[in-house]
Amino acid sequence: MNNTPWPTSQTFWQDKRVVVTGGAGFLGSFVVNTLRQRGAAEIIIPRSASYNLVDGDAVRQLLADARPDLVIHLAARVGGIGANREHPADFFYDNLMMGVQLLHESYRQGVAKFVAVGTVCSYPKFAPIPFREDDIWNGYPEETNAPYGLAKKMMLVQSQTYREQYGYNSIFLLPVNLYGPGDNFDPASSHVIPALIKKCVEAKAAGAATIEAWGDGSPTREFLYVEDAAEGIVLAAERYNQSDPVNIGSSYEISIKDLTETITRLTGFNGQIVWDTTKPNGQPRRKLDVSRAQERFGFVSHTSFEEGLRRTVAWYERA
């Protein structure tokens, strides 16, 4: 438990130069907006055309150009089960090299604090429910996204060892599956919520009788509205200064079957759901213990799942 009085947000951010890798992306755009609302002095969003973060020279150049007080590392190569199965080596290498080099060079160049944002995919496939941070090493991740999950988890090892050896202030956060306006709706790489919204909206418009969903609907997932996730990350950046991993989630668990039926209702698709059981289910259950985030930096999610889904559907229908 952190008993130190927390600074007000404006006081903390008013003189801070912040690099947000992935700041133009889905989660990143909400983090950047939250930082602006907090009054951050300057926010630098590196573009891949200028800084290929897989390349060490580009990482060093970014930090030399930006001279940040704080780095929030959100950039990642991400995708759903299909994309992870097709490109496991790319997902491993790109995510590992980005994270390891950014954290190392941030330490070397004197960046005061590094916020590493990992993934719920780092947890063991059969971790006890709810997932507690202390269980993160008790087994191998779900196979379809293990290369991605393990690559991101190396930032936890790095954060802890750099703090132990160098006294470097870095933190490691584990957000659960995110959703919301601006999500990735590309069927080749999207996650389950945007993929289902897109299928339902298009099927309704076409008058189709069915949509197809992967697996058998039995797995469960926890989802966090992206605006809440951004709030959690920024609060941790302000208030948390330890290398123990921290879950960022809503603690609301729903089966893929119930999720699919909810999305058909909210989109107005009245056809049949056809389950393709030749496709993988992925991890059987996901639900986080979120008590550490509340205890250590006061984060609690506020957006109900149904309200978040309504906003996401409405955004997609307007887009």
Q: Which pLDDT score, from 0 to 100, does residue 4 have?
A: 56
Catalytic position from the list 51, 107, 123, 148:
148
Residue 302 assigned to a binding site: no
Torsional sign, CA 220, 221, 222, 224: negative
Question: Is there a cis peptide before residue 130, judged by omega within 30 degrees of 0?
Answer: yes
22 is in an annotated binding site: yes
Query: CATH homologous superfamily of domain 9-179+224-252+285-303?
Result: NAD(P)-binding Rossmann-like Domain (3.40.50.720)
Q: So what's the pLDDT on residue 145?
A: 87
The per-residue pLDDT for 194 is 96
What pLDDT is stored for residue 282 in this prediction?
81
pLDDT at 7: 61
Q: pLDDT tens digits for 199-228?
A: 999 999 999 999 999 899 999 999 999 999
191 is in an annotated binding site: yes
Q: What is the pLDDT of residues 142-175, one digit of tens each?
A: 888 899 999 999 999 999 999 999 999 999 999 9
**According to the annotation, is 27 in a ligand binding site?**
yes
Ranges of residues in the chain with a pLDDT under 70 are: 1-8
Would you call 148 a catalytic residue per the annotation? yes
Enumerate residues 6+ apart whose C-beta is below 8 A from 114.
70, 71, 73, 102, 103, 106, 107, 159, 168, 169, 170, 171
So where are the chain's domains?
9-179+224-252+285-303
Residue 126, annotated as binding a ligand:
no
Predicted local confidence at residue 76, as pLDDT: 92
pTM surpassing 0.85? Answer: yes
pLDDT of residue 144: 86
